[in-house]
Amino acid sequence: MHRYRSHTCGALRDSDIDQTVRVSGWCHRIRDHGGLLFIDLRDHYGLTQCVADPDSPAFKDAEKLRAEWVVRIDGKVRRRPEGTDNADLPTGQVEIFITEIEVLGPAGELPLPVFGEQEYPEDIRLKYRFLDLRRDKLHQNIMTRGAIVDSMRKRMKEQGFFEFQTPILTASSPEGARDFLVPSRIHPGKFYALPQAPQQYKQLLMMSGFDRYFQIAPCFRDEDPRADRLPGEFYQLDVEMSFVTQDDVFAAMEPVITGVFEDFAKGKPVTKVWPRIPYAESLKKYGTDKPDLRNPIEMQNVSEHFRGSGFKVFARMLEEERNQVWAIPGLGGGSRAFCDRMNSWAQGEGQPGLGYIFWREKAEGLSSTEWKLLESGITKALENGQHEEARELYEKWAEGVEAAGPLAKNIGTERTEEIRRQLGLGAGDAAFFVAGDPAKFVRFAGLARTRLGEELNLIDKEQFALAWVVDFPMYEYNEDDKKVDFSHNPFSMPQGGMDALLNQDPLTIKAFQYDITCNGYEIASGGIRNHRPEAMVKAFEIAGYGEQEVVDRFGGMYRAFQYGAPPHGGMAAGVDRIVMLLCGTNNLREISLFPMNQRAEDLLMGAPSEVAPKQLRELHIRLNLPDNK
């Protein structure tokens, strides 16, 4: 018999009854039932119940065991007593009667529990990550991550892509975040950088004649912590293709991403036909460029109903051309208590408040029975294509509705009725309003839409809603530096090419730039590349970079473009975010092996750490630390 095991802890079944076996693992749980000891033994593959009674030669050894001790157990497989089967375990019909125990690795007092999934302080969990990873849910998340990556690789290869590995030590480049710098010992005063992404290398691969590249690529960014990105490093499914249009990229990647989600969705529906939502439309409807399409709420511009109205705050705002009033419909939110609660939430977000109108049945209106019959009639008429009949029924139905709330009193019955009709609302519904410059209030409007969806239980959480967001702006105005800057990826092709760069207002140029969104997260970003050297130089000039600076910073790619550059494009999908969504968590540390904390510290390994003066001298580095105050 093998020194440590004849079977794993997840392998034993009915067919093994009466066999003498050997298993090794961790003491997951120990239970004393009046002299009868039960030891749930756990390894990577599963859990097996082991039993010792006072007649067992190993009973005294079993009494000494404690949680998380590593042991070898020999014994005979037998059927569990009637009524004690555990249908949740693959091994739940059998147990091992222990004949011998060998302690392979005793454990000290545990700083955190392994049995169960109770909450525990994150700093302790990260410091003792090797214990945390023994917990079943986290262990399964990590295994799911590996399986998802396998699925990505398989599907990419089926689409004709080949996997390449690009360098980790590279040159510093401005891609939107700070680089991690690595000092060169051989070249004093010079530094390598860890790649923020393999952007230039994958484009150079297309210059080199390779056609379809992919890589599960590590990326490094020295940026402040964010809720949806791990500090320091992350992984992405990096992709590039030659001789392609935007539609070709979409056609290649939709089945890959859809297929991966379907593989791990556990029966939840996954979008089959992805909508393509222009960036500007996404902001207007959803208040974000990464919309959660599980939420049915769509915002609308209702400025005309407030222009010149009795609600002077909005009316005065609308005297300025750039200002607008947007409505956020709240189906089922038509009570003063709920509307006041939303107003208080808005004030907690730093807003002056959140204006609202809600609609209710008139006291002298239709009876509840008449109301339901009319609603049913409208629905049936629409289903049968009888639109004129549906309109007449709707008009009668609307007669029983009245608007309430401070805004309703200020703007009057006619305007509130126009708003209700535009939004398609009825009794029991509400509308909330944000006003001013959309560029300034759009983020808050998006938060309010999400809050409404959550509070009113409108979000269908049992699905994965995928979409493309397209037509991103090429440039934006940087208020801090008072200059035009790149909005997203500086290497994207502007729509309209060189002509747009020469003759169009930069802030109106759209790029062949696109994102994939899922359930309110951006899970991928990409673009068709600007492969013409003269267009590349002009694009960077608009953002304030001279030609020499382009040559200095992107010399390899700039030179490559001089020698026959194919049209090419691609994308990068966030592996961590995809795994997070499929594992049903909203914390990236729950799907990563050894993550840092929110202060970018590795509590397990003690990084970052000080280094010896000798190492600094070898690197020709002298520290200039800030004063400790």
Pick the last residue of a domain from 83, 105, 127: 105
Query: pLDDT per residue over 554-612, tens digit each?
Result: 888 889 999 999 999 999 999 999 999 999 998 999 999 999 998 899 999 999 999 99
Q: Residue 355 belongs to a domain with what CATH number?
A: 3.30.1360.30
Residue 605 CB partners (closer than 8 Å, separation 6+): 594
Interacting residues of 505 by C-beta distance below 8 A, sequence separation 6+: none
Q: Are 340 and 358 in contact (CB under 8 A)?
A: no
Cα separation, 355 vs 502, in Å, equals 44
Q: Is the pLDDT of residue 377 over 60?
A: yes
Does any domain span residue 228?
no
The answer on 438 and 391 residing in a single domain is: no
User: Are 392 and 315 in a shared domain?
Assistant: no
Is residue 113, in this structure, part of any structural domain at all?
no
**Mean pLDDT across the chain:** 92
Residue 129 within any structural domain of the chain: no
70 lies in a domain? yes
pLDDT digits (tens, 9 = 90+) for 387-420: 788 777 766 666 678 899 889 989 998 999 999 9
* Whether the predicted pLDDT of 616 surpasses 80: yes
Q: How many domains does the chain have?
A: 3
Is residue 129 predicted with pLDDT exceeding 60?
Answer: yes
Does 384 share its domain with 445? Answer: no
Query: Which of 48, 79, 105 finishes a domain?
Result: 105
**Statement: residue 367 has pLDDT above 70:** no
The answer on 392 and 302 residing in a single domain is no
Q: Is residue 352 part of a domain?
A: yes
Quote the crossing angle between the two packed helices 279-286 and 438-455, to the nearest 10°: 60
Same domain, yes or no, for 350 and 406? yes
Distance of CA 494 to the CA centre of its chain: 27
DSSP state letter for 94: E
Residue scoring higher pLDDT (154 or 587): 154
> Is position 262 within any domain?
no
Residue 395 DSSP SS3: helix
Residues 421, 325: one domain?
yes
Domain with 344, as residue range(s), is 295-365+402-455
Per residue in 167-197, pLDDT tens?
999 988 755 678 999 999 999 999 999 999 9
3 state SS of 194: coil
**What's the confidence (pLDDT) of residue 372?**
66
Both 317 and 358 in one domain: the answer is yes
Q: What is the pLDDT of residue 311?
A: 92
Q: Which of 335, 336, 263, 329 is nearest to 300 (CA)?
A: 329
Q: Which of 79, 105, 131 is the last residue of a domain?
A: 105
- pTM across the whole model: 0.90
Tell me the mean pLDDT in the region 314-339: 95
Q: Are residues 395 and 406 in the same domain?
A: no
Long-range contact pairs involving 13-20 (C-beta distance under 8 Å, separation at least 24): 13/90, 13/91, 13/93, 13/94, 14/79, 14/93, 14/94, 16/77, 16/94, 17/77, 17/78, 17/79, 17/94, 18/76, 18/77, 18/78, 19/76, 19/77, 20/74, 20/75, 20/76, 20/77, 20/99
